[in-house]
Amino acid sequence: MSASFPRSGSGARPDLGLAGARPAGRELLDPAVVARLAHLDVRARLVVEGFIAGMHRSPFHGFSVEFAEHRPYMPGDPLKSLDWKVWARTDRFLVKQYNEETNLRCHLLVDFSGSMGFRSARAAMTKLEYAQCLAASLAWLMLHQQDAVGLLLFAERPLRYVPARAVRSHLDVVLKTLGGIEPQGRTRLGPALHELAERIKRRGLVVLCSDLMDRPGEVLAGLQHFRHDHHEVVVFHILDPDELDFPYTDSTTFVDLENGERLTTEPWEIARRYRERLAAWTAQYRRQCRENRIDYVQIDTRTPFDQALLAYLEKRARLL
Q: For 55-80, write each residue's pLDDT tens digit.
A: 654 454 444 445 556 777 776 667 77
The SS3 call for residue 278 is helix
Look at residue 298 and tell me whether its pLDDT is greater than 50: yes
Cβ burial of 193 (10 Å; 0-12, 13-18, 19+) is buried
Residues 127 and 76 in one domain: no
Least confident of 92-101, 105-114, 230-239, 264-273: 92-101
Most confident of 192-196, 222-226, 263-267: 222-226
* 247/6: higher pLDDT: 247
Q: 82, 98, 114 — which closes off a domain?
A: 98
Alpha carbons 253 and 265: distance in angstroms, whole number: 7
Q: Please state, for a pLDDT cut of 70, what percent of the chain lies above it.
A: 82
- To the nearest 10°, report the CA torsion of 16, 17, 19, 24: 70
Look at residue 237 and tell me whether its pLDDT is greater than 50: yes
Residues 152 and 76 in one domain: no
Which whole number is the average pLDDT over 8-25?
Answer: 40
Look at residue 174 and tell me whether its pLDDT is greater than 80: yes
Residues 162 and 219 in one domain: yes
For position 23, what pLDDT does the model report? Answer: 47
* 140/23: higher pLDDT: 140
DSSP category for residue 81 = G
Number of domains in the chain: 2
- Tell me, yes or no, whether 35 lies in a domain: no
CATH number of residue 139's parent domain: 3.40.50.410
Residues 232 and 201 in one domain: yes
Residues 86 and 193 in one domain: no
Residues 190 and 207 in one domain: yes
Which whole number is the average pLDDT over 275-288?
Answer: 95
- Tell me, yes or no, whether 139 lies in a domain: yes
Band (pLDDT 50/70/90 cuts) for residue 288 is very high
- Tell me, yes or no, whether 130 lies in a domain: yes
Band (pLDDT 50/70/90 cuts) for residue 89 is confident
Residues 190 and 71 in one domain: no
- Tell me, yes or no, whether 312 lies in a domain: yes
- Tell me, yes or no, whether 269 lies in a domain: yes
Residues 116 and 88 in one domain: no
Average pLDDT, the chain: 82
Band (pLDDT 50/70/90 cuts) for residue 290 is very high
- On whether the CB atoms of residues 275 and 245 are closer than 8 A, the answer is no
Band (pLDDT 50/70/90 cuts) for residue 320 is low
Which whole number is the average pLDDT over 112-124?
Answer: 93
- On whether the CB atoms of residues 61 and 33 are closer than 8 A, the answer is no
For position 67, what pLDDT does the model report? Answer: 52
Alpha carbons 108 and 140: distance in angstroms, whole number: 12
Look at residue 216 and tell me whether its pLDDT is greater than 70: yes
Residues 109 and 71 in one domain: no
For position 15, what pLDDT does the model report? Answer: 38
Band (pLDDT 50/70/90 cuts) for residue 250 is confident
Among 151, 154, 214, 152, smallest CA distance to 184 is for: 154
Which whole number is the average pLDDT over 219-245?
Answer: 94
- Tell me, yes or no, whether 110 lies in a domain: yes
Residues 118 and 78 in one domain: no
Q: 57, 80, 98 — which closes off a domain?
A: 98
Band (pLDDT 50/70/90 cuts) for residue 183 is confident
**pTM score, whole prediction:** 0.78
Which whole number is the average pLDDT over 144-162?
Answer: 89
- On whether the CB atoms of residues 103 and 111 are closer than 8 A, the answer is no
Q: Which domain holds residue 91?
A: 67-98
Alpha carbons 232 and 205: distance in angstroms, whole number: 5
Least confident of 106-115, 167-176, 198-207, 284-293: 198-207
For position 222, what pLDDT does the model report? Answer: 93
Residues 91 and 214 in one domain: no
Among 131, 282, 138, smallest CA distance to 205 is for: 138
Q: 98, 114, 146 — which closes off a domain?
A: 98
Alpha carbons 54 and 52: distance in angstroms, whole number: 5
- Tell me, yes or no, whether 127 lies in a domain: yes
DSSP category for residue 24 = P
The SS3 call for residue 162 is strand
Residues 161 and 227 in one domain: yes
- Tell me, yes or no, whether 177 lies in a domain: yes
Q: CA Rg, the chain, in Å?
A: 21
